[in-house]
């Protein structure tokens, strides 16, 4: 029996799985070359058709989140810009499989080398499309994984995830991958344990095709290959403690969150797509603490009407509860084609409010949609990545101007309270420049990465990227104290708000308003109940 091997990565979806390893990395089957270029072309057309049909079949049984991902893949398959180079190569004598692989690999390489996590994460979708068409060309069926398997390899295709029956357990352990990938989003919403970045220590540290039983600890981001009996026993104890915590947490979901001392804590939710609210019972949360709008800015910039409908839907769902919508935070790890610019260091570049103020014609469209939606509920609006007071003043002035414009045209509108994200250290250190904002919302994801100088999406520095470092907690506490003094409400909407291990520190820092990922609502409320403040 081989020696136990422990690999460390980053948790993309918390949970535990013990099961047989199933390798995701394998060569595709042999392709039979056709007689003529016309036959090769026909073979590729048919294969693309088969892959599109397969995706369409999956959509029929998918929820709205999964359907969105599959529709994205179909749109890519139908995009001539993707298949054009392959057909051109076939016309000049190449076989369909080689032509398709080469065309897609070129495209994938562009995504993979992007310094932006969002684009790197989309490379998995392109690999999925490439392999589905190759499989259709070679008439190769995907091998079925044993029940409860731990899928192990470089990356996993979204369709592989959607075709797997997770009801019997199992998990995902990736050498590469990204916590921002489509599969990671699906895994979090379905509760499938997933770890990414296991190969960060180099190829020699993570074996190519290990076999046998493995222990996946996706609460702490690790996996043990060839575990010893003692390791299996310890793992099972941690796994059942996690399951017990999760079950207990469910009993907190319907109740308002209170600490051990009886202090009420607001727990709101973070959403991106308006359809996210479809799966949330509004009674289980205190509103929407953050609606990220950059995801509406997909392949094209959304018009005023599209945005108005999206915001209105969420406001009507929330009723009287507050809904805090953030103006577009493009750039950094969230590029938007046609809007963001390529930069050497996007996290420190033209992102968030900086980009919006540089392109006011785009921000103005969003502002009009927000002002019009404001009459349908309890809307608050905040600006991302504010570093200096002048940015807030300029953004607020655009609201005033657009409101006047709408009023002059007799269009119903309402000015929402305007606040800012506190995620750039300059604001957290010197908040006195912002005494006229309506509220502060601490973005702990960015605040932590800037305070610790450790990127939020880099496995190699993940140990440094901790909101629990005293430097970060002290800053948060000082912002809360400033808010109390000035009677400016302070909440927190970074991922730390939903992390049971970080919640005690955040409440001790004085926070009483957290906004968390919907999947974390129950766990967050349960963790709050244990804090003595
Ligand atoms: C944050 O930075 O904590 C935050 C909530 O914003 P985002 O994760 O969208 O950058
Ligand atoms: Mg941020």
Residue 429 token pair: 């250190």
* pLDDT at 127 > cutoff 80: yes
More confident residue, 457 or 152: 152
Residue 219: which region, alpha, beta or left (left: phi > 0; alpha: psi -120 to 50)? alpha
Q: How far is the CA of 421 from the centre of ligand 2 (A)?
A: 8
Tens digit of each residue's pLDDT (9 = 90 or more) over 74-116: 888 888 888 999 999 999 999 999 999 999 999 888 887 776 6
Q: Is the CB of 446 under 6 A from ligand 1?
A: yes
Q: What value does the mean pLDDT take over residues 213-227?
A: 95
* pLDDT at 525 > cutoff 80: yes
Tens digit of each residue's pLDDT (9 = 90 or more) over 271-296: 988 988 998 999 999 999 999 998 78
* pLDDT at 254 > cutoff 70: yes
Mean pLDDT of the chain: 91
Half-sphere exposure of 488 (CA within 13 A, CB side): 26
Q: Which atom of ligand 1 is nearest to the CA of 445?
A: 3
pLDDT at position 298 is 63
Count H helices and E strands in the chain, helices first. Answer: 17, 17
pLDDT at position 115 is 62
Instruction: List Cβ neighbours of 187 (8 Å cut-off, separation of 6 or more).
Output: 12, 13, 161, 172, 193, 194
Q: How far is the CA of 133 from the centre of ligand 1 (A)?
A: 36
- Range in 329-338, 448-457, 480-489, 515-524 the model is least confident about: 329-338
* Percent helix, strand and coil across the chain, each to the nearest 5: 50, 15, 35
Does the annotation mark 182 as catalytic?
Answer: yes
pLDDT at position 110 is 81
Does the annotation mark 220 as catalytic?
Answer: no
Looking at the chain, the whole-number percentage of residues with pLDDT higher than 70 is: 96
Q: Please give the radius of gyration of the chain, using alpha carbons only, rounded to the nearest integer.
A: 24
Tens digit of each residue's pLDDT (9 = 90 or more) over 325-381: 999 999 877 777 788 888 888 899 999 999 999 999 999 999 999 999 999 999 999
Domains by residue range for the chain, with CATH: 5-24+142-243 (3.50.30.10), 37-138 (1.10.274.10), 253-529 (3.20.20.60)
Q: Is the CB of 423 under 6 A from ligand 1?
A: yes
pLDDT at position 117 is 66
Q: Is the CB of 491 under 6 A from ligand 1?
A: no
pLDDT at position 174 is 95
Tens digit of each residue's pLDDT (9 = 90 or more) over 1-54: 578 899 999 899 999 999 999 999 877 678 889 999 999 999 999 999 999 988
Q: Which atom of ligand 1 is nearest to the CA of 495?
A: 3
Q: Which residues surround ligand 2, an ion (CB under 5 A)?
A: 423, 443, 446
pLDDT at position 294 is 84
pLDDT at position 81 is 85
């Amino acid at each position: 029996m081989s020696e136990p091997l422990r690999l460390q990565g980053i948790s993309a979806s918390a949970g535990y799985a013990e099961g047989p390893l199933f390798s995701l990395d394998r060569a595709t089957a042999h392709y039979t070359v056709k007689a003529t270029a016309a036959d090769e072309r026909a073979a590729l057309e048919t294969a693309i058709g088969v892959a599109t049909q397969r995706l369409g079949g999956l959509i029929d049984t998918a929820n709205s989140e999964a359907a969105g991902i599959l529709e994205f893949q179909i749109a890519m398959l139908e995009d001539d810009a993707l298949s054009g180079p392959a057909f051109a190569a076939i016309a000049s004598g190449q076989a369909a499989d080689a032509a398709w692989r080469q065309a897609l690999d070129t495209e994938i390489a562009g995504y993979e080398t992007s310094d932006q996590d969002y684009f790197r994460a989309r490379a998995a979708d392109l690999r999925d499309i490439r392999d589905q068409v190759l499989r259709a060309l070679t008439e190769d069926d995907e091998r079925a994984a044993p029940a409860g398997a731990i899928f192990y390899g470089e990356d996993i295709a979204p369709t592989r995830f959607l075709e797997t029956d997770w009801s019997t357990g199992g998990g995902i352990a990736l050498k590469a991958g990204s916590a921002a990938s489509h599969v990671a989003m699906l895994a979090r919403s379905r509760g499938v344990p997933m770890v990414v970045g296991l190969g960060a220590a180099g190829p020699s540290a993570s074996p190519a095709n290990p076999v046998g039983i493995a222990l996946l600890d996706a609460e702490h981001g690790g996996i043990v290959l060839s575990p010893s009996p003692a390791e299996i026993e310890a793992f099972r104890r941690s796994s059942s403690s996690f399951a017990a915590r999760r079950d207990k947490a469910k009993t907190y979901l319907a109740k308002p969150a209170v600490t051990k001392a009886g202090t009420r804590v607001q727990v709101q939710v973070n959403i991106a797509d308006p359809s996210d609210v479809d799966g949330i019972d509004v009674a289980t949360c205190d509103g929407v603490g953050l609606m990220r709008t950059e995801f509406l800015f997909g392949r094209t910039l959304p018009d005023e009407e599209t945005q108005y409908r999206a915001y209105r839907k969420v406001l009507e769902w929330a009723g009287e509860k507050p809904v805090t919508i953030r103006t577009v935070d493009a750039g950094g790890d969230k590029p938007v084609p046609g809007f963001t610019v390529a930069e050497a260091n996007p996290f420190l570049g033209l992102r968030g409010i900086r980009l919006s103020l540089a392109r006011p014609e785009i921000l103005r469209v969003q502002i009009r949609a927000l002002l019009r939606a404001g009459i349908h509920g309890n809307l608050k609006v905040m600006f991302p990545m504010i570093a200096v007071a002048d940015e807030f003043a300029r953004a607020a002035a655009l609201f005033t101007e657009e409101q006047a414009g709408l009023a002059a045209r007799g269009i119903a509108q309402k000015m929402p309270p305007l606040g800012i994200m506190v995620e750039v250290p300059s604001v957290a250190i010197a908040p006195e420049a912002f005494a006229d904002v309506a509220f502060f919302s601490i973005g702990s994801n960015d605040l932590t990465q800037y305070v610790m100088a450790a990127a939020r999406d880099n496995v190699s520095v993940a140990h440094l990227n901790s909101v629990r470092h005293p430097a970060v907690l002290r800053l948060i506490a000082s912002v809360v104290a400033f808010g109390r003094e000035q009677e400016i409400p302070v909440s927190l909407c970074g991922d730390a708000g939903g992390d049971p291990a970080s919640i005690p520190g955040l409440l001790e820092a004085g926070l009483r308003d957290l906004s968390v990922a919907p999947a974390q609502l129950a766990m967050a409320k349960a963790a709050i109940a244990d804090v003595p403040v």
